[in-house]
Amino acid sequence: MKNMNLIFLFLILSFSNIFCQESLKEAAEHSRWIINNSVIGFVSTFSIKNTNYPFVSMEDFCDSYNSSGIPFFLLPTVSTTSKNILNNPNASISIALVNCSINNYDGIPYDALACSRMILSGYFSIYDKNPTSNTNDLELLKYFKCHPAAPYLIDIEHSWLFYKFNIQSIYFIGGFGNIHYIGNIDTKIYFDAQIVPPS
């Protein structure tokens, strides 16, 4: 009888872990970790060429120098994304874990839908109209650390703009429903959160 009780208790604990959902605080911590440990995002802007559809492009970014959770982008002025931003700065950015196999379920192959991801909505503002490799600006120096080729490119090709993305809303998808948090994260909770990797 004692063994049966132990087995029953084990089953209860196992199922509670399976269906345990992340808290809003944990989701905010995980979203901060994703921004801090990612360097590529999919930027959706309002197209100036085809106004019936959004324009989505994969772009490099970097978390701010003090890891505040604010992404910065260095874009050439000739790029379609940059042209769209200059016409309408409102945009959304989709960012996901590149490979969450180590955080995935035991014995199950990698599945992108099981990985944490987030959508940031807000607007771009120009942080630096004339960025150069010869700079003491902390944000640019942090960006160069994230993207080592950037300081070479801005000195030899095109003209560039350094953008700050001002986050207005956050939608977080921790993975599959009933296991991870899925929903909005208040910006104050996001910016107040610590940087904690998804589990």
Round to whole Å and give the CA distance between 128 and 164. Answer: 9
Three-state secondary-structure class, residue 174: coil
Please report, for the chain, the start and end positions of each structural domain, with discontinuous segments joined by +.
23-192
Q: Are 73 and 106 in contact (CB under 8 A)?
A: no
* Residues 172-185, mean pLDDT to the nearest whole number: 84
Question: Of 36, 87, 42, 45, which is closest to residue 60 (Cα–Cα)?
Answer: 42
Question: Tell me, what's the pLDDT at 174?
Answer: 87
Exposed / middle / buried, residue 140 (Cβ in 10 Å: 0-12, 13-18, 19+): buried
Contacts of 178 (CB under 8 A, 6+ apart): 19, 21
Question: What is the CATH architecture of 23-192?
Answer: Roll (2.30)
pLDDT tens per residue, range 57-90: 999 999 999 999 999 999 999 999 999 999 999 9
Question: Tell me, what's the pLDDT at 21?
Answer: 73
Q: If you write DSSP's letter for every residue of 13-80 in order, what string do you get?
A: HHHHHHT----HHHHHHHHHHHHHT--EEEEEEE-SS-TTSEEEEEEE-EE-TT--S-EEEEEETTSH
pLDDT tens per residue, range 123-147: 999 999 999 999 999 999 999 999 9
Q: Which helix (H) or strand (E) holds 150?
A: helix 150-156
pTM: 0.83
